[in-house]
Amino acid sequence: MSTVKKDYKRITTRSLVEMKSNGEKISMVTAYDYTMAQMVDKAGVDVILVGDSASNVMAGHETTLPITLDQMIYHASSVVRGAKRSLVVVDLPFGSYQSDPKEALRSAIRIMKESGGHSIKLEGGSEIKDSIKKILNAGIPVMGHLGLTPQSIYKFGTYTVRAKEEEEAQKLIKDALFLQKAGCFAVVLEKVPAKLAQQVAQQLTIPVIGIGAGKVDGQVLVVNDLLGMTHEFNPRFLRRYLNLHELITNAVGQYVSDVKEEDFPNENEQY
């Protein structure tokens, strides 16, 4: 069971920074729809990430690149309606913030206005510093994301662990410090060595939330992976808490057979 140090009625960006200073770990999972958001919120998750991983797990794309701003807004507005306590963070999708700071701000404003989300997340460090500052200056909270940044998969060419070499590790530390100084409220570190992630978490006062980054200030997983709805994705960092793929396939299989055998509906299941 998790160690809760303070009972928050509604999680804010400030609560997360407070949790870090109180030594309380932060739980974060993705959700993309109203029903799932209701369940993970009720389970007590601190942050719901409307991740651009929706592109993979909801739409079946190979990468996160195809999802559009309109599609992210659709998913996010559904999640917001289901989240009563959790902080809702929404990914800015690929192509909506990299070209120039004005476009980045326009995209972030659309997310906040049209979905009702509480903050945005974007991938990258100093190379997009003007966009990050512009969004923050408009009063929009920003969560950073460093390490394996899936929107750059075609640059990396592989989903293997990032920042194993000294030069990339040093850049990551510099970028994390930049994100904190710029005013970001948290940083996600994806698939980097645990020792490096720990070093970053110790240097920052804002929370570092890891996925495949060892024990830091919090953890994030894609909910479809955590629940075993996906079954072909098996990275070392993933802990599956259910095998919903099998449970759902078997349950629906039973329904199909009940229909075929005219067992469903029975006398009590009709008017």
Q: Which is nearer to ligand KIV, 15 or 219 (CB)?
A: 219
Tokens representing 67 are 């999802």
Binding of ligand KIV at residue 51 (CB under 6 A)?
A: yes
Find where tokens 């396939």 sit: 249
From 220, 226, 227, 229, residue interacting with ligand KIV (rule: CB under 6 A): 220
Q: Which is nearer to ligand KIV, 58 or 177 (CB)?
A: 58
CB of 239 to ligand KIV, least distance (A): 14
**Pairing verdict, β 47-50 and 208-211:** unpaired
Binding of ligand KIV at residue 46 (CB under 6 A)?
A: no
**Pairing verdict, β 87-91 and 119-121:** parallel
CA atoms of 95 and 70, how far apart (whole Å) = 12
From 52, 175, 217, 225, residue interacting with ligand KIV (rule: CB under 6 A): 52
CA atoms of 62 and 90, how far apart (whole Å) = 20
Told to judge if 168 belongs to the known catalytic residues of this protein, a careful annotator would answer no
Binding of ligand KIV at residue 219 (CB under 6 A)?
A: no
CA atoms of 141 and 179, how far apart (whole Å) = 12
Q: Which is nearer to ligand KIV, 235 or 253 (CB)?
A: 235
Q: CB count, 10 Å around CB of 72?
A: 28
From the list 5-13, 46-54, 73-81, 232-240, the region that binds ligand KIV by CB under 6 A is 46-54
- Residue 239's nearest CA partner among 221, 218, 217 is 221
Question: Interface with ligand KIV by CB under 6 A: which residues?
Answer: 30, 49, 51-53, 91, 188, 190, 211, 220, 222
